[in-house]
Amino acid sequence: MDFVIRRAYKYRIYPTKAQISNPENQFSMCRHLYNRSLAERTDAYEKDGTAISYHQQQNSLPELKKKRPWYNPDLKEAPSESVIQEGSIHVEIVS
C-alpha cells in the first residue's frame, strides 16, 4: 500500500511602495482607456448609428498618447504598451 504525502505551502509577500505603484498605474491606464473606448463607441452609435471597430480605435492611439503623456511607455515599464492595447481589445470583446 502506497502512501502519498501532500503538503501545502503559503507564501506572503510584502511589496515595497514602488512595487505596488507600478501595477496600480498600469491598471489605472487600462481602466481609463477601456472607459474612454467604450464611451467613444457608445457616443458614435447614439449619434450616427455607426460602429467603431477595434482597428479604428487602435489607429487613434498614437494621437491619444500625444495628448496624454502618461500613456507613453517608459523603458522601465515595458508592459504599459501591451496594457494600452489590452484595453482596446477588451472593449472589442465586450461590444
* Residues 35-48: tens digit of each pLDDT: 888 899 999 999 99
* pTM for the whole structure: 0.61
The contacts found for 69-74 with CB under 8 angstroms, 24 or more apart, are 70/25, 70/29, 71/29, 71/33
Residue 44: the pLDDT is 92
Mean pLDDT, the chain, integer: 77
Residue 45: the pLDDT is 92
More confident residue, 92 or 19: 19
